[in-house]
Amino acid sequence: MHNFIEKRREILSKTPTEIKVISLPEIIFIFGVFCFVLYMLFPKETLKQKVLKEKKSNDLAIVYIKNIVKFDNRNYELLFHYADIHFKENHFLAVKRIVELLLQSNIPDIREKAILLGEKLFKRQFFLLKKTKEREKLLKEYQNMLTDMLLVSHDENFQTDILNYLAQSDDKNKYISMLKKLAKIDDKWKMKLATHHLAHNKLNEALMLYEDLLQNAQIYSEKKKIFVEAIKVLTYGGFFTRGVKIMQKYEDLFLYDDEVFEKIVRFYLAAGKQTNARKYILKRLKH
C-alpha cells in the first residue's frame, strides 16, 4: 500500500507536456493566405462589370452574358448590351428575341427602350429588302413583335408607321386587326377606324363608332367634329329613324351653333320630319 501511494505521488509530481501556442506572425500569414483564396474565388470585378467593359471581344462578352442571363433574365442593362452586340454582328433573330422579352417588362422606361430597339431592328431589315414578297415575309415574321410594340407605345407617329407597314402586307386584315386593338385603348384610333370604315363604305360600322365617340368626347370642338361626320353617315346610309333619335339627343347642345343648327334642320327635312325641323327652329327663335 505504501509503495502504491509513493508511485502515485511520483506521477502527479511530473510537469505536464507544454501546449504549443501559434505566434502572431504565423496568424498573420494564415490570414493572408485565407484572403488570397477568397480573392481568387470572388474577384473584385463582378461578371456583370466584365461584360459591360468588354470591348475587344464580342464573343467573350456573349459568353459572359449567356451565363448571367441564364439565371436572371431581368438583368436589363446586360440584355440591352447583349442585343447591341448581336445587332453589330447582324444576328437579327437574337436581337428580336431580346426585344420581345423586354417588351414584357413592367418598367415603362425599359419598354420604351425596347420599342426603340425593335424599331431600329425592323427598319434595318425592312429597308434592306427590295422585293415585295421578301418584305411581306418579314412582316409576317415580325407581326407579333410589332403588335406588342403598337400596344405598349404612346408615340402616335411611331404607331402610325407600324400601321403603314402592316398596310403593305398581303393580308390587309392585319392592319384592321391592329387598328381595332388600338381603338379599344384610345379614341383617337377609334376615329381613324371610323374614317377607314367610311372610306370603304362600311357605314353601319362607322356610325357605331361615331356614336361611341360622341358619348366619350368632352371637348366641344371634338364633339362637333364627330357629330358632323355622323350626320354625313346617317344621310348617306339613309339611317333616318336612327338619325332622328341622335338629332333629338344632341340638338340642344348645338342650338346656337349656326353650322350644326343648319345641318340638323336639313337632316330633319331629308328624313321627312318637317314637324321636328319647325320645332327646332322655333326653339332657337324663343331663345
Contacts (Cβ under 8 Å, ≥6 apart) of 95:
83, 86, 87, 117, 121
pLDDT tens for 125-157 read 888 888 888 888 888 888 888 888 888 888 888
**Whole-number pLDDT of residue 6:** 59
pLDDT tens for 233-265 read 999 999 999 999 999 999 999 999 999 999 999
* Whether residue 279 has pLDDT greater than 70: yes
Confidence of residue 190 (pLDDT cuts 50, 70, 90): very high
pLDDT tens for 109-119 read 888 888 889 98
| pTM score over 0.85 | no
State how far the Cα of 214 lies from the Cα of 246, in Å rounded to an integer. 10
Contacts (Cβ under 8 Å, ≥6 apart) of 118:
96, 99, 103, 145, 146, 149
What mean pLDDT is predicted for residues 197-219? 93
In whole angstroms, how far apart are CA 162 and each of 61, 87, 119?
33, 21, 9
Contacts (Cβ under 8 Å, ≥6 apart) of 89:
58
* Whether residue 51 has pLDDT greater than 60: no
Which domains are present in the chain? Answer: 186-287 (1.25.40)
Q: What is the DSSP string of 113-177?
A: HHHHHHHHHHHHHHTT--SHHHHHHHHHHTHHHHHHHHHH---HHHHHHHHHHHHTSS-THHHHH
State how far the Cα of 214 lies from the Cα of 227, in Å rounded to an integer. 7
Is the distance from CB of 209 to CB of 193 less than 8 angstroms? Answer: yes
Of 212, 266, 216, residue with least CA distance to 244: 266
